[in-house]
Amino acid sequence: MLNLYKILFFNLMLIGILISVSAYSWLSMWMGLEINLLSIIPLFKSHKNIFPAEACLKYFITQAMASIILIFSITHSFNFTILSNLTTNLLNISLLTKLGAAPFHFWFPEVSEGLNWINNIFLMTIQKMAPLILLMYNPSTYKILLLSVITSSIIGSIYGLNQVSLRKIMAYSSINHLSWMLASFMENKIIWINYFIIYSLILTNIIYIFNHFKLFYMNQLFLINNKNKLIKLIFSLNLLSLGGLPPFIGFMPKWLTLNFLMMEKLYFIGLILIMFTLITLYFYCRMIFSNLTINLNENLIQFTNKLNYYFISFNIINLLLLFICSSLFNFI
């Protein structure tokens, strides 16, 4: 019975996203966002502890506040044939709040901390689809997007330095990656789709390992199965790919984004993104060092222990996709 209602609300969540991205009017888009919001709350709820209930309440209040700003800007636009600057800015602010982009990020790490890893995947990937596509539809002004790109890059990197909770680290990492997606909006709207897909795949691989070994804090990274050296290696390589290091696939969308930023002579934005992404790479390396540290009781002889070969094969293909994509670009 529990699985049935989860399947029902999961389908409703997807329907809400589809209504939002395929609607012809802002009012229909708002209705799709509300269906999405009301269907994700039961999925977040858990009977095991009270923390998901607190996270659900924070998420609902923030999303309801953003929805109020959105519906106010929509009704305000009914008086004008062309969207005014005030209406456009309010639309952007409401959608950025729903995304959790800085400087409207205040709710995102707190909600992430109260959810389990599976719900964090929903929060960091699926729930960002509709607001990002609506931002693409909106005739957005550069000022709001530039402010959000710079602040998201700075806050997502610096605030993640002082965290020991893996959920908060991944939340601030998501804010930093959001700055790259918003920067790609300004030049080429196809790049952010590639960025979002690649980011979602890498994040799902990392969170799968966190969820499998029940890891929530930095000092628990020692608990990854020490007999399973390949899992430890794949986890470390996925983190490097998430940081955007070549030759992994995570480098490709950042490479394309920087290429278009340089073509448009937005050198300052590119410099900010590169500098603060290096800071995120630093706390990824902290996680890698904790993971690769050898324990006293570690067995150095046995290499595998009931490996999930499908998961490993998928990760190896995912990590090496940069070679395939680069070859395709050269061929084209």
What pLDDT, on the 0 to 100 scale, is given for residue 328?
53
What would the pLDDT profile of 257-296 be if each residue is shown by its tens digit? 998 888 888 889 999 999 999 999 998 988 888 777 665 5
pLDDT tier for residue 303 given thresholds of 50, 70 and 90:
very low
Domain definitions of the chain by residue range? 96-331
The 3-state DSSP class for residue 200 equals helix
Of 176, 183, 159, 163, the residue nearest 124 (C-alpha): 176
Cα Rg of the chain (Å, integer): 20
Of 129, 164, 131, the residue nearest 148 (C-alpha): 131
Higher pLDDT among residues 83 and 110, named by residue:
110
Structure tokens at 318: 């995912």
What would the pLDDT profile of 8-61 be if each residue is shown by its tens digit? 888 999 999 999 988 888 888 999 999 999 999 988 887 666 678 888 899 999
* Contact indicator for 249, 187 with CB cutoff of 8 Å: no
Higher pLDDT among residues 249 and 124, named by residue:
124
DSSP per-residue string spanning 248-269: STTHHHHHHHHHHHHHTT-HHH
What would the pLDDT profile of 103-155 be if each residue is shown by its tens digit? 888 899 999 998 989 999 999 999 999 999 888 877 666 788 889 999 999 99
Location of structure tokens 């000092």: 219
Tell whether the model's pLDDT for residue 63 goes beyond 90. Answer: yes
